[in-house]
Structure 1
Amino acid sequence: MELEKIKDLLVETAIEAGSFIRKEAEGFQSQAIEYKDVNNVVSYVDKEAEKRIVERLSQYVGVGFITEEETAETSDKDGYNWIIDPLDGTANFVHGVPHYSVSLAFAKGKEVLAGVVYHVPANEVYSAIKGGGAYKGDKKLQVSKAKVLGETLMATGFPYYRFEEMHRYIKILEELMQGTHGLRRFGSAALDLAFVAEGRYDGFFEYNLNSYDMAAGVLLVQEAGGVVTDFKGGDKYLFGGDVVAGGASHEALLQVIKKYW
Structure 2
Amino acid sequence: MAVLSGIIRVMEKAARKAGGRLRRDFGEVEHLQVSRKGPSDFVSKADQAAERIIYDELLQARPDWGFVLEEAGIIEGDPDKPRWIVDPLDGTSNFLHGLPHFAISIAVQEPKLGGGGWGEVTSGLVYQPITDESFWAEKTRGAWLHDGRLRVSGRRQMSEALIATGMPYQAHGDFGEWMKIYAAVGPQVAGIRRYGSAALDLAWVAAGRYDGFWESDLSAWDTAAGCLLVREAGGFVTDYRGRSQPICDAQVIAGSDPIHSRLHKLVAEALKR
Could you tell me how far 1:75 is from its partner in structure 2?
6.4
Q: Partner of 1:29: helix, strand, or coil?
A: helix
Answer yes or no: is 1:74 the counterpart of 2:76.
yes
Partner of 1:104: 106
Q: Is the 2:121–2:247 Cα contact (8 Å) retained in structure 1?
A: no
Pair 1:131-2:140 in alignment: yes
**Which residue of structure 2 aligns with residue 53 of structure 1?**
54
Amino acid at match of 1:34: S
Shift of 1:176: 1.7
Identify which of 151, 154, 160 aligns with 2:160.
Answer: 151
TM-score by length of 2: 0.89
Partner of 1:85: 87
| Structure 2, unpaired ranges of 5+ | 111-117
Residue in 2 that maps onto 1:260? 270
Distance 1:254 1:43, change over 3 A: same
User: Residue 50 of structure 1 contacts residue 71 of structure 1 at CA under 8 Å; is this kept in 2?
Assistant: no
Q: Which residue identity lines up with residue 168 of structure 1 in the other structure?
A: E
Distance in 2, Cα, partners of 1:162 & 1:227: 29
Separation (CA, whole Å) in 2 of partners of 1:258 and 1:78 = 38
* Counterparts of 1:75 and 1:158, CA distance in 2: 35
**2:52 corresponds to 1:43:** no
1:198-217, Cα deviation, whole Å (9 max, x unpaired)? 00000111101000000111
- Structure 1 runs not aligned, ≥5 long: none
Distance in 1, matches of 2:13 and 2:83, equals: 18
Q: How far did residue 238 of structure 1 move?
A: 2.0
Partners in 2 of 1:77 and 1:41 — Cα distance? 32
| Of 3-12 and 27-36, the range deviating more from structure 2 | 27-36
Distance of 1:163 and 1:72 partners within structure 2: 22
Compared CA separation, residues 64 and 254, structure 1 to 2 (3 A): same
Aligned residues: 259
Instruction: State the secondary structure of the residue aligned to 1:22.
Output: helix
